[in-house]
Amino acid sequence: MNKVGIIGSGTMGIGIAQVAAMNQCEVFLYDQNAEQTEKSLQGLQKVLSRLVEKNKIDFEESENIYNRIKFCTELKDFKDCDLVIEAIIENKEIKTKVFQQLEEIVSQDCIISSNTSSISITSLSSELKNPSRFIGIHFFNPAPLMPLVEIIPGLLTKENLAADIFSLMKTWGKVPVIAKDVPGFIVNRIARPFYGEALRIAEENIATFEQIDDAMRTLGNFKMGPFELMDLIGIDVNFSVTKTVYADYFYDPKYKPSLLQQRMSEAKLLGRKSGKGFYDYSEESKEPRIKNQDIKDEKLYEEIFLRIISMLINEAVEGKRLGIASDEAIELAMQKGVNYPKGLIAWGKEIGYQKISDTLQNLYETYQEERYRQSPLLKKM
């Protein structure tokens, strides 16, 4: 698969283009907005210069990488592609239209894929004349830096295609995992409580954002706490993923979105990109961090950490029970896609599954909510 077409040159498209070009592919890049492609290519030039400065690649290689990417002004230029990865706006109707157009251009052997975070791969494939050549290839942001790639065959995807893409992603230096076509795939499903339970603790005034973040960093060794991370991802983006996962699981209360997050989105307090979210990113307060050691309360920190980690481990165990991916894939995904310090199944063993189960049981009895129901597998672990 040497000729790779990428549709959409936004955040993800240009990142995936860079990865493919760094792996000797001839890349065809198309966006309906040519100005966006120009802007993204300029950005890529800067990224490549930085790699040269850091001696990661030499100048000649940086030129070669850049020259392997062809700026296309129409989709017709994709006619010889072996693989096309779509990374346009997250809208099923718009994506479908683009795929139907593309099917008329590329050869029968061309593999068509989507980088969608939340739309069912099966539903996208079913709109194609030949759904068997369609698959999900889900990169993480920033694509050149995050090793994980979730590969999602839909119900109509031909056998072996997932294995072929798995091998290709390995040659691209990625850490591929195969996931079932379930809402949120692996990472966006299993990670939900990291944000959801943190928001809940804050909404109940049990602790402040700073305390929750600090507890997760210090006791859990997470690189960032939930609120810092939501500020980085964009509070609106994170909220929208939560809403989609919630709706697509037919309103399972486990994934219920947070009112606080909704209000933050409404107020356009979106995080780093808007200058203010859970923290303030204005000039005077660039690095908001907990400074006052007095606020540290060991017992409270333990309670916060145990509550959030138990919810996460429960979600990973339920994913294992339902076979959304292999155990190894579930463990790798959280470490290589969202930088968790350990795999959650191993973490459960370390803390003790009984303790996780007791924590959830206690929450269930306190709140009388389905949200805290345990995976039937948890008790057997």
Q: According to CB under 6 A, which one of 22, 87, 235, 245 is a site residue for ligand NAI?
A: 87
Please choose, from the candidates 77, 73, 67, 162, the residue with its C-alpha nearest in 3D space to the C-alpha of residue 111.
162
CA distance 125 to 153: 10
Q: According to CB under 6 A, which one of 4, 5, 6, 7 is a site residue for ligand NAI?
A: 7
Q: According to CB under 6 A, which one of 45, 49, 73, 94 is a site residue for ligand NAI?
A: 94
Cα distances from 309 to residues 183, 217, 318, in angstroms, run 21, 12, 14
In angstroms, give the least distance from the CB of 142 to ligand NAI.
8
Which range of residues in 30-38, 172-180, 194-202, 334-342 is near ligand NAI by CB under 6 A?
30-38
Q: According to CB under 6 A, which one of 22, 83, 98, 179 is a site residue for ligand NAI?
A: 98
The single residue listed with the structure tokens 């995807």 is 157
Residue 10 makes contact with ligand NAI by CB under 6 A: yes
Residue 77 makes contact with ligand NAI by CB under 6 A: no
Residue 123 makes contact with ligand NAI by CB under 6 A: no
- Starting at the edge strand found earlier in the chain, the sheet holding 83-86 runs 69-72, 26-30, 3-7, 83-86, 111-114, 134-139, 148-153, 175-178
Q: According to CB under 6 A, which one of 25, 29, 88, 199 is a site residue for ligand NAI?
A: 88
In angstroms, give the least distance from the CB of 10 to ligand NAI.
2
In angstroms, give the least distance from the CB of 240 to ligand NAI.
9
User: Pick the catalytic residue: 115, 188, 258, 357?
Assistant: 188
In angstroms, give the least distance from the CB of 72 to ligand NAI.
10
Q: Please list, residue by residue across 232-252, b when 16 or more beta carbons sit within 10 angstroms of its beta carbon and e when fewer do.
A: bbbbbbbbbbbbbbbebbeee
Q: Please list, residue by residue across 342-363, b when 16 or more beta carbons sit within 10 angstroms of its beta carbon and e when fewer do.
A: ebbbebbeebebeebbebbbeb
Q: Compare residues 110 and 345 and give the one whose CB is closer to ligand NAI.
A: 110
Q: Compare residues 12 and 177 and give the one whose CB is closer to ligand NAI.
A: 12
Q: Compare residues 61 and 90 and give the one whose CB is closer to ligand NAI.
A: 90
Q: Tell me, yes or no, if 91 is annotated catalytic.
A: no
Binding mask 313-332 for ligand NAI (x = CB under 6 A): --------------------
Q: Which long-range contacts (CB under 8 A, 24 or more apart) does 87-93 make?
A: 87/6, 87/7, 87/8, 87/10, 87/12, 87/13, 87/16, 87/114, 87/115, 88/7, 88/8, 88/10, 88/13, 88/31, 88/32, 89/8, 90/116, 90/117, 90/118, 90/119, 92/119, 92/123, 92/124
Binding mask 125-164 for ligand NAI (x = CB under 6 A): --------------xxx-----------------------
Please choose, from the candidates 309, 314, 334, the residue with its C-alpha nearest in 3D space to the C-alpha of residue 179.
334
Q: Tell me, yes or no, if 2 is annotated catalytic.
A: no
Residue 89 makes contact with ligand NAI by CB under 6 A: yes
Q: Tell me, yes or no, if 221 is annotated catalytic.
A: no
Q: What is the dihedral of CA 258, 334, 147, 151, to 10 degrees?
A: -80
Q: What is the largest CA-CA distance in the chain?
A: 65
Q: According to CB under 6 A, which one of 26, 36, 262, 342 is a site residue for ligand NAI?
A: 36
User: Pick the catalytic residue: 86, 150, 197, 315?
Assistant: 150
Residue 244 makes contact with ligand NAI by CB under 6 A: no
User: Pick the catalytic residue: 138, 258, 265, 375?
Assistant: 138
Q: Tell me, yes or no, if 188 is annotated catalytic.
A: yes
In angstroms, give the least distance from the CB of 380 to ligand NAI.
34
Beta-carbon contacts of 10 under 8 Å, excluding residues fewer than 6 positions away, are 31, 36, 40, 87, 88
- Which residues are designated catalytic? 117, 138, 150, 188
Q: Return residues touching ligand NAI (CB under 6 A).
A: 7-13, 31-33, 36, 87-90, 94, 98, 115-117, 139-141
